[in-house]
């Protein structure tokens, strides 16, 4: 791979994106810089093809007419007779809107509960001193160390004895608030300055008012990060819904879309249309909110 | 501070603690108890001591899934530590359109594993894009049986894992690269170090903690791999289930009709110990190298 040699070509000019340096005027240097820039763009496009190519090919397949070739060499990249009929086939084959609504319910519920319960707990852990705090932190840390996959069998047995298997509530409850959400909120509340809070105390604000009026509005960035991550995690989750939902009528989109391949259809065009229905809303959401995504992941990684 | 009643913090904590305890701590304890019984999914079960663990030692399916999972880890972790770093270096510079490239590189992360699995099973099918390209380039004459041979299925699943994780780990590296002080790189440049030397002797040492973090995250994710193999094989884990992973075997053993909840719980504990061991191992290796 020539990526190894070209990618780190000019690390000296990077690192502080906010302050672009004036380009040196020496011509020999600038010609080399131009060549490096061209190489960089070529590599960028190459990685682009690898990352987004599979989506585009799937999109193209979903639009191909029934008479068109979807197999073989050379691959036919663009549909000759584009049609939306396979999307209609998906809707006829599985109750895709119902599945989408189920996914939306679970994901929205997860985003709301993670923000609400996570901020409450994170606030207590960050701003209050009390006996047993270390124990509470330990419990949240433990939930991050225990892989969900290692408790899924007894989790399923528990859901069944609670009569929550085959319900959306059963899908949502285990991740209603995660240790990660709590700890993200704790970090955010910790970094708030004491002075503001003390002023509020002097003004006679109680604990609850300080939380709602002062603390929560100051960590809006974290609220959006936790909301987005919980939403996407719930929307994408596959293993737990697959276990807890056995009735096809209550499926979320990820589980329901599985039925397209194999059980209901052998037409790759219809499967492709189904995957597009499952992924496009999320990609649109992501591209609208991508600034928050990158800020959030960055912050989390920096703070460790 | 103000005179607060002792229970106020617990009121704030109660809902989150209730969820964590009910849906993590209790099931974990229950898993440990079940692992010592012969309980079925339907209930019941008697105390059988360490029988389940003795049985594990001689269970071919269990060892096969353990071996596949280990293979997965050994191949995928180095790829996930290096490739996203190279991509991060590629998108690090603020040049025109770089925000677009970063966002697009991240899009596989957003797509669910099922969607990725359906797309990749299409890419890797015997008439799919990958085989078409390889045949067109005369790399192979016969299509590679990605979906029907256990080893090729694992290889395909690994490629899918790397593809899907690329953007995620890229962002982690980007954050770390932003913290590499420019003064150090400029000092090295003044000293006459070329780009490659600056990378190896300045950037990489400073990135070490991040690389360790990425390795740990990737290793734990590999230990839990399930959806890639499940979706690529249409739920069968390849012919005879030979591409099975640990989580696949746990699900197959412990759930469904006639599931052996007790025995699967013993496997689950093995998974827990494996993930815990991996994090401890990586931390140990790290501190030892730092001392040396």
A110-166: pLDDT as tens digits: 999 999 999 999 999 999 999 999 999 999 999 999 999 999 999 999 999 999 999
Q: Any idea which residue has 């086939």 for tokens?
A: A89
Q: A231-263 burial, b for 16+ CB within 10 Å, e for fewer? A: bbbbbbbbbbbbbbbeeeebbbbbbbbbbbbee
CA distance A153 to chain B (A): 6
From chain A, the residues in CB contact with B104 under 8 A are: 48, 51-52
Band (A298; pLDDT cuts 50, 70, 90): very low
**pLDDT-based confidence at A248, cuts 50/70/90?**
confident
Are B270 and B246 a contacting pair, CB within 8 Å?
Answer: yes
* pLDDT tens digits along A208-242: 999 998 899 989 888 988 998 899 899 999 999 99
Average pLDDT over residues B255-265: 88
In chain B, the residue whose alpha carbon lies closest to the alpha carbon of A285 is B110
Q: Is the pLDDT of residue A266 over 80?
A: no
| Helix A133-145, helix A96-127: angle, nearest 10 | 150
CA angle A238-A156-B111, nearest 5°?
10
- Average of per-residue pLDDT across A278-283: 89
What does the alpha-carbon distance between residue B78 and residue B74 come to, in Å, rounded to a whole number?
A: 7
Angle at B156 between CA B152 and CA B159, to 5 degrees: 140
Interchain proximity B12–A123, CB inside 8 Å: yes
A272 is written with which tokens?
């492709």
Q: Pick from A130, A174, A243: which is nearest to B23 by CB? A: A174
User: Are the beta carbons of B154 and B243 closer than 8 angstroms?
Assistant: yes
Report yes or no: B107 and A283 within 8 Å, Cβ to Cβ: yes
| Cβ–Cβ contact A189 with B under 8 A | no
In the predicted model, is pLDDT for residue A9 greater than 50? no
Contact check, Cβ <8 Å, B171/A297:
yes
Model pLDDT for residues A181-211, shown as the tens digit of each residue: 999 999 999 988 888 788 888 888 888 999 9
pLDDT of A303 > 50? The answer is no
Q: Do B113 and A254 touch (CB under 8 A)?
A: yes
Are B34 and A302 within 8 A, CB to CB? Answer: no
A101 touches chain B (CB under 8 A): no
- Lowest-pLDDT range of A32-41, A135-144, A156-165, B2-11: B2-11
Task: Measure the CA–CA gap between B289 and A240, rounded to whole angstroms.
Answer: 39
CB contacts of B261 in chain A (<8 Å) are 153-154, 157
What's the farthest any 2 CA atoms get from each other in chain B?
Answer: 80
Distance CA A67, CA A69 (A): 7
pLDDT of residue A73: 65
Report pLDDT for A14: 44
The answer to whether A141 and B253 have CB atoms below 8 angstroms apart is: no
Question: Which of A157, A180, A201, A251 has the most B C-beta neighbours within 10 Å, making it the best mutation to test the interface with B?
Answer: A157
Instruction: Of A242, A270, A278, A292, give the one whose Cα is nearest residue A64.
Output: A270
| A52 touches B at CB < 8 Å | yes
pLDDT of residue B3: 56
What is the nearest CA distance from B18 to chain A, expressed in angstroms?
A: 10
Residues in chain A: 304
For residues A292 and B204, give the distance between their C-alpha atoms in angstroms, rounded to a whole number: 28
A278 touches chain B (CB under 8 A): yes
Contacts of A8 in chain B (CB under 8 A): 89, 195-196, 198-199, 203
Under the banding of pLDDT at 50, 70 and 90, the label for residue A294 is: low
Side-chain-facing half-sphere of B50: CA atoms under 13 Å: 3
A290–B103 CB contact, under 8 Å: yes
CA atoms within 13 A on the CB side of A184: 29
Are the Cβ atoms of A182 and B16 closer than 8 angstroms? yes
Using a CB–CB cutoff of 8 Å, tell me whether A240 touches chain B: no
Which is higher by pLDDT, A300 or B41?
B41
Q: Which residues of B touch A9 (CB under 8 A)?
A: 195
- Yes or no: say if A259 and A225 are a contact pair by the CB < 8 Å rule: no
Nearest Cα to Cα of residue A236 among A249, A224, A252: A252
Check whether B73 has a pLDDT greater than 80: yes
How confident is residue B129, by pLDDT bands cut at 50, 70 and 90? confident
- Return mean pLDDT, chain B: 90
Query: Do the Cβ atoms of B261 and A154 come within 8 Å?
Result: yes
Q: What is the pLDDT of residues A94-109, one digit of tens each?
A: 898 999 999 999 999 9
Nearest chain B residue to A50, by CA: B163
Say what the alpha-carbon torsion angle B21, A171, A178, A236 is, to the nearest 10 degrees.
Answer: 160
Please answer yes or no on whether A5 and B196 come within 8 Å at the CB atom: yes
- The pLDDT tens digits for B200-231 are 888 899 998 899 889 999 999 999 999 999 99
Q: How far is A236 from chain B (nearest CA, A)?
A: 4
More confident residue, B245 or A83: B245
Residue with tokens 């099975």: B244
For B159-208, the DSSP string reads HHHHHHHHHHHHHHHHHHHHTS-HHHHHHHHHTT--HHHHIIIIIHHHHH
* SS3 at position A261: strand
At residue A224, the 3 state secondary structure works out as helix
- Chain centroid to Cα A188, Å, comes to 20
The Cβ-side half-sphere exposure at B285, using a 13 Å CA radius, reads 13
- Judged against a pLDDT cut of 60, whether residue A26 lies above it is answered with no
Min Cα separation A123/chain B (Å) = 8
Residue A6 has pLDDT above 50, yes or no: no
Q: What is the mean pLDDT of residues B24-34?
A: 96
Q: Which residues of A touch B114 (CB under 8 A)?
A: 238, 254-255, 257-258, 278
CB contact under 8 A, A282 and B111: yes
Using the structure block, give the residue that is written with the tokens 């996203």: B84
Q: Is the pLDDT at B88 greater than 90, yes or no?
A: yes
pLDDT attached to residue A52? 93
CA B256 to chain CA centroid, Å, is 25
Q: What is the DSSP string of B198-232?
A: HIIIIIHHHHHHHHHHHHHHHHHHHHT--HHHHHH
A9 token code pair: 């070509």
B3, B7, B19: which to substitute to probe chain A, counting the most A Cβ within 10 Å? B19
Cβ of B112 within 8 Å of Cβ of A238? The answer is yes
Averaged confidence pLDDT in chain A: 84
Beta bridge partners of A36: none
Give the three-state DSSP class for B110: helix
Going by the DSSP 8-state scheme, the letter that residue A24 receives in this structure is: P
Q: Give chain A positions within 8 Å (CB) of B265.
A: 153-154
Say yes or no to pLDDT of A257 above 60: yes
Q: For residue A116, what pLDDT is reported?
A: 97
Which tokens in the block code for residue A274?
């189904």
Nearest to B125 by CA among A261, A87, A56: A261
Q: What is the pTM of this model?
A: 0.86
Closest by CA position to B222, among listed B75, B61, B59: B75
- Is A27's Cβ below 8 Å from some Cβ in B? no
* Helix ranges (DSSP H) in chain A: 3-6, 27-63, 85-93, 96-127, 133-145, 148-161, 168-172, 179-190, 194-202, 207-209, 216-218, 220-236, 239-244, 253-258, 268-303
A268 lies within 8 A of chain B by CB: yes
CA distance to partner chain A, nearest, from residue B104 (Å): 7
pLDDT digits (tens, 9 = 90+) for B146-199: 998 999 999 999 999 999 999 999 999 998 898 888 888 888 888 888 888 888
Q: Please spell the DSSP secondary structure of B253-268, one letter per residue.
A: HHSSTT--HHHHHHHH
From the list B31, B199, B213, the residue facing A11 with the nearest CB is B199
């Amino acid at each position: 791979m020539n990526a190894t040699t070209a990618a780190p070509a000019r690390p000296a000019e990077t690192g502080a994106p906010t302050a672009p340096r004036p380009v040196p005027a020496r011509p020999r240097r600038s010609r080399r810089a131009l060549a490096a820039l061209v190489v960089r763009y070529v590599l960028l496009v190459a990685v682009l093809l690898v990352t987004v190519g599979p989506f585009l090919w799937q999109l193209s397949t979903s639009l191909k007419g029934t008479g068109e070739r979807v197999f073989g060499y050379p691959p036919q990249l663009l549909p000759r007779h584009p049609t939306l009929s396979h999307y209609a086939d998906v809707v006829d084959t599985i109750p895709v809107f119902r599945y989408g609504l189920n996914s939306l319910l679970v994901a929205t519920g997860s985003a709301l509960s993670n923000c609400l319960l996570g901020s409450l707990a994170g606030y207590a852990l960050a701003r209050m001193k009390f006996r047993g705090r270390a124990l509470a932190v330990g419990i949240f840390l433990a939930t991050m160390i225990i892989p969900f996959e290692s408790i899924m069998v007894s989790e399923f047995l528990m859901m069944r004895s609670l009569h929550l298997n085959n319900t959306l509530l059963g899908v949502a409850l285990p991740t209603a608030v995660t240790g990660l959400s709590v700890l993200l909120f704790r970090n955010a509340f910790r970094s708030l300055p004491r002075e503001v809070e003390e002023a509020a105390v002097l003004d006679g604000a109680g604990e609850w008012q300080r939380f709602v009026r002062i603390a929560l509005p100051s960590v809006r960035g974290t609220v959006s990060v936790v909301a987005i991550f919980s939403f996407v995690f719930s929307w994408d989750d596959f293993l737990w819904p697959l276990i807890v939902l056995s009735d096809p009528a209550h499926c979320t989109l990820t589980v329901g879309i599985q039925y397209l391949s194999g059980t209901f259809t052998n037409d790759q065009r219809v499967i492709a249309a189904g995957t597009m229905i499952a992924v496009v809303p999320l990609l649109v959401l992501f591209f609208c909110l991508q600034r928050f995504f990158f800020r959030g992941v960055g912050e989390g990684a920096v703070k460790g | 501070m103000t005179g607060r009643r002792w229970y106020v913090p617990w009121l704030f904590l109660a809902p989150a603690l209730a969820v964590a305890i009910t849906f993590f701590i209790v099931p974990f304890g229950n898993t440990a108890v079940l692992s010592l019984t012969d309980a079925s999914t339907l209930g019941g079960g008697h105390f059988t001591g360490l029988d389940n663990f003795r049985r594990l030692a001689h269970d071919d399916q269990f060892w096969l899934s353990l071996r596949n999972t280990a293979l997965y880890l050994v191949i995928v972790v180095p790829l996930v530590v290096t490739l996203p770093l190279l991509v991060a270096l590629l998108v690090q510079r603020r040049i025109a359109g770089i925000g677009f490239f970063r966002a697009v590189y991240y899009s596989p992360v957003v797509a669910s594993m099922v969607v990725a699995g359906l797309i990749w099973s299409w890419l890797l099918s015997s008439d799919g894009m990958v085989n078409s390209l390889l045949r067109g380039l005369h790399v192979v004459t016969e299509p590679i049986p990605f979906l029907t041979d256990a080893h090729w299925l694992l290889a395909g699943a690994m490629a899918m894992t790397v593809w899907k994780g690329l953007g995620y780990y890229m962002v982690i590296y980007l954050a770390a690269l932003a913290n590499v002080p420019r003064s150090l790189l400029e000092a090295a440049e003044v000293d006459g170090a070329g780009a490659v030397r600056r990378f190896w002797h300045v950037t990489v040492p400073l990135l070490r903690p991040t690389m360790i973090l990425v390795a740990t995250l990737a290793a734990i994710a590999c230990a839990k791999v399930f959806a890639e193999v499940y979706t690529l094989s249409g739920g069968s884990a390849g012919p005879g289930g030979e591409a099975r992973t640990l989580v696949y075997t746990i699900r197959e053993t412990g759930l469904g009709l006639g599931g052996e909840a007790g025995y699967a719980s013993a496997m689950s504990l093995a998974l827990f110990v494996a993930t815990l061991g991996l994090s401890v191992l990586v931390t140990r290796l790290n501190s030892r190298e730092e001392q040396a």
